[in-house]
Structure 1
C-alpha cells in the first residue's frame, strides 16, 4: 500500500511532486486508471506516493485530416469512444477490445496492449505517435515530431533515435506520461462477425494463419481476429451455476475451440466478398488440410449476437467478477504458428492447479504474432488460491521462456526469470533507468529495476 495518494491535475504539479520526491528519495508509483488486468499497478515496498492521474481527463484535440487524437492520461476508453461517437462518428480510436470502459487509453498505450483493430493494423504500440513525459528532475520532454515547438505530432520517430519506444512498456519506471497522441481510423458502416469452430487449437491456429496471410486483401478487413475455447463461456456465469461438462455447450452449438473474424468494410459489396472468401477458404482447409475435418464448421450467429459483439467498448472482462472478483490475465506473446502449442500446455497446467482452463487468443498484425491470454479465475479471499496462482505462473513461465515466448505485463516476483536469460538487455535497461531516474524513485521494483 502507498503511504499517500496524490491526484494532480496539471503538468506543473507533477513536476513539483517529482522534483521534491527525487530530492527526498521518496518512491512514486504513477497510475492512470488502476485497472490493469495484469501486474503493472501494485506498489512495491516502500509504498511512498501513489500518483493517481485520474483527474487529468482532457480530450485535447481530434484531427480528422492527420488522423490523430491527443488525450491526457485519465481519459478512459469509454469516454473517448463516446466523445468520438458523438462528435466524430466516422472515426474510431484505438481502444482495447474487451477491457472495462473505465480503463484508460494511456494505460493501454504504455503497457503495449491491443486495440479493437489490432489484427489489421498491428500491435497497440504502433498506434501511439508521440507523448509528453515528465522526468524525475522536472524536465518535460515531447517525443517524435512533437519535439519541435512548431510541429504537429504526426511522426512517431522524430529527431534521430526514437525515445517514445524507450518508454513503451516501462510501467511508470522511467517517467510520468502526461499526454499521448494516438492514431484514429475510419469507422465504416458495413461490419459483421464470422465464426468458425473446431475441436482443437491446431486447426484454429492453422486456418486462421491461412486467412491472415491474405494481406493487401481480406486480412486487412479482419480488424479483430480472436478466439479461444468453450470455458470462456462458462467463466462468465456465477460459478455455482456453471455446467462443467462439454456436452451442455455442444448441445447449444458451441465448438470446443473457435475463431471470430470481425470484419469492417467501406461498402456492402466489399463486405460480401470478404465473408464469402473466408468461408471458401475455411471449407477448403476443412476438406484438404484439417487435423479434425469433421469438427470444423461455421457457427451461425444471431443478429443480436453480432450486434453485441460489435458494440464498443466491449465489456467481456466484467462478468469475471462472479468468481469472487478473482481473475487475472497472464498474457504472453508467441509467434502465431506456436500459439496452439501454448494453448495446449497452458490449459493442461491450469487444470493441474485446479483452475478452469480458460484460454483466449488473438491475432496481432495479421497473425505475425499471437497474444495468448490464459484467464485465471479464482477466489481472491483465499490465500491458498493466490499461492496456487503464483505456482502456476512460475511453472509456466519457466516453460514459456525455454520456448522463446515473451510475457506481457510481467509480475516482478516471477518474470524476473526473463532477465536472467537476457542479461545484456537488463544491463542497458538499468543504465537507461539510472540516466532518467538516478535516485530510483519511480515505481521501484517494477520490471526488476531498482
Structure 2
C-alpha cells in the first residue's frame, strides 16, 4: 500500500491552538524530546512534531477531524508511563495527543459495582480516592506499576490488575467505553450505547463492538471514558510464598491449588512468581554477585510463587492459608520433581507486598540504565516450557534471564513476562535485544503462543504474516474506522502490511 503523511505546518498549529487553547499546544524541539523514551514497553520511538493536550471528548473530536482532513498522523497517550510504547513510530511524528489533563473520576456505583474514569486517571490517585471515600471497594489498578501509571492504559491493553488471579485479564474488568473515532464520531460500547443506560453489560446492543479497541494500541480511536468493575476490598489479607527447584514444579503446584475454585482459589487475587534473577537485577550490575549460590544463602528460592490472599474474616483467611499449605506442601510435594517448601516471609515483606500501588517495576532500570517488559500469553500448562526456552535465549544473547509470570483467572492462562535489562545508551543493545526477540517469536508462534502487546517491528508483522485471514479482516474494519490510517501508524502492521511496515519505522540512533 502506498500512503504518505503530511507534515504539520503553522496553519495546523494555529488551528490546534484554537481548539484547545494556546497553553495546550507545544511544538518546541526541547518539549518534543522531553516526551521521548525507549524502554519499559517499547524501544522503537520517535519524537512528535507537536504535542496537544485536550480536556474534553469534543476537543479530541475536532483534533482528529482536522488531522484526518490533512492526513497527519496522531498518536494517543494516556499518561506516558509505558515508555516508548505510546510514542510515534515514524520520522514524521505528527501529533502526540496527550490525554493526561483528562483525569476525572466521574462516577462510582457500589451496587452495580463500577467506576467511570477518564484516560488520565492515575493508579495512585484512584487508589487514594477509594481509600478515603469507598474503603470497602477496590479499583482494578495494575499490580507492580508505579502510582503515576494510568488505570485506563492498562485496561485497554488487556493487562493485569491486582486481582487478575481471581477475575481474569484487565480487559474483563471493562464494562463500557466512550470512543472518539478519527472520522469524528463519538460513541459508547456495551449497554452504554443506549442513551440513558448504565454501563452494566459490556456486550451491548447486538454484535459486540467492545473488543475492537482492546489491544488496538491507539490505532483505532481515542478512548475518552471507561467503566471498570470494582471489587470487594476486605481488610484481612496476607501473602504466602513457596520455593521450588524447577519451573515445572512451580507451574504444576500452582495449577493444583488454583483448581480449588469454590471457596479456596477464589481468594487468590494475585498469583505471581519467577526466578531468582528478579532479585539481583534490581541493583547496579557492577555492585552485586551474579551467581545463585550467594542469593541462596540469603533465602531466595531459585524459583518461587507468591499467593496474595484476601478474605472477609481472620477465620476465613486462616482456612484458606491452611488449605493452600496442605495442597502444595503435602498433596503436590509428594509427586514433585524437586524440593517444595514454604518461603517464610517477614511481616515487613508481607506488608510491603500488600501496599498498593507498589513500585516493583521501577528498580530494574538500575541494572544498566534501561529495561523492557515483553509479554506473552500461553496456556498455563505451557508456562514452564515457555520460560525455559526464553531464559536460554536471553542468556544466548547475553541478557540476564529475568523472568516473571502470573496466573490469569485460576491458571486458565499464564502471562509470561521477561524483563530485558540493558544499557539504553548503547545502540548495540537495542539491536541485540531485537535479534533475541525475533528468535523467540519464531519459536513461540510455532507453538501457538500469543504476544499480547505486540511490538511493531517483530511481534505484529510476524504474527499477522501467519494469521493472514485475521489481518485481512482487521484491515477491513480499520479502513471503515480510520480510512486515512492516521491513528498511530506503524502499530499492528498498519498501514503497509506485515511484510512492509518495519521498513517505515524509525530506527535506533
* Structure 1 length-normalised TM: 0.98
Q: Please give the residue correspondences for 1:85-234 in structure 2 after superposition, counting only pairs within 5 Å.
A: 85-234=131-280
| Residue of structure 2 aligned with 1:61, choices 102, 107, 111 | 107
| Residue of structure 2 aligned with 1:368, choices 412, 415, 439 | 412
8 Å contact from structure 1 (residues 37, 328) kept in 2: no
CA gap of 1:18–1:287, structure 2 versus 1, over 3 A, is closer
8 Å contact from structure 2 (residues 48, 88) kept in 1: no
> What residue in structure 1 maps to residue 453 of structure 2?
409
RMSD: 1.1
C-alpha deviation, 1:314, in angstroms: 1.5
Task: For CA contacts below 8 A with separation 6 or more, give which structure has more relative contact order.
Answer: 1
C-alpha deviation, 1:354, in angstroms: 0.7
Distance 2:143 2:329 in 1: 28
C-alpha deviation, 1:234, in angstroms: 0.6
8 Å contact from structure 1 (residues 40, 410) kept in 2: no
Specify the SS of the correspondent of 2:93: coil
| Residue of structure 1 aligned with 2:387, choices 343, 366, 381 | 343
Instruction: Give yes or no for the alignment of 1:321 onto 2:358.
Output: no
Report Cα offsets for 1:122-179 as digits up to 9, x if no partner: 1110000001000112110011111111111111111011111111110111111000
| Residue of structure 1 aligned with 2:483, choices 434, 438, 447 | 438
CA gap of 1:121–1:37, structure 2 versus 1, over 3 A, is farther
> What residue in structure 2 maps to residue 261 of structure 1?
307
> What residue in structure 1 maps to residue 493 of structure 2?
448
Distance 2:205 2:262 in 1: 31
Instruction: Give yes or no for the alignment of 1:397 onto 2:441.
Output: yes
Bigger mean CA deviation after superposition, 162-171 or 358-367: 162-171
Distance 2:52 2:99 in 1: 8
8 Å contact from structure 2 (residues 285, 368) kept in 1: no
| Residue of structure 1 aligned with 2:355, choices 311, 315, 330 | 311
Specify the SS of the correspondent of 2:279: helix
Specify the SS of the correspondent of 1:363: strand
> What residue in structure 2 maps to residue 44 of structure 1?
90
8 Å contact from structure 1 (residues 195, 259) kept in 2: yes
8 Å contact from structure 1 (residues 38, 329) kept in 2: no
Q: Please give the residue correspondences for 1:12-23 in structure 2 after superposition, counting only pairs within 5 Å.
A: 12-23=58-69
C-alpha deviation, 1:66, in angstroms: 1.1
Distance 1:408 1:64 in 2: 31
Specify the SS of the correspondent of 1:434: helix
> What residue in structure 1 maps to residue 80 of structure 2?
34
Number of residue equivalences: 448
Q: Which runs of 5+ in 1 are unaligned?
A: none
Distance 1:429 1:376 in 2: 30
CA gap of 1:18–1:61, structure 2 versus 1, over 3 A, is same
> What residue in structure 2 maps to residue 429 of structure 1?
474
C-alpha deviation, 1:38, in angstroms: 7.4
Specify the SS of the correspondent of 1:235: helix
Distance 1:146 1:286 in 2: 46
8 Å contact from structure 2 (residues 123, 149) kept in 1: yes
8 Å contact from structure 2 (residues 53, 100) kept in 1: yes
Distance 1:187 1:299 in 2: 26
8 Å contact from structure 1 (residues 37, 329) kept in 2: no
> What residue in structure 1 maps to residue 317 of structure 2?
271
Distance 1:313 1:139 in 2: 35
C-alpha deviation, 1:40, in angstroms: 4.8
Report Cα offsets for 1:245-291 as digits up to 9, x if no partner: 11111111111001000000011111001100010011224542101
Distance 1:37 1:26 in 2: 22
8 Å contact from structure 2 (residues 48, 87) kept in 1: no
Distance 2:207 2:270 in 1: 31
Report Cα offsets for 1:305-335 as digits up to 9, x if no partner: 0000000012101111213431001110000
C-alpha deviation, 1:45, in angstroms: 3.7
Instruction: Give yes or no for the alignment of 1:379 onto 2:423.
Output: yes
* Structure 2 length-normalised TM: 0.87
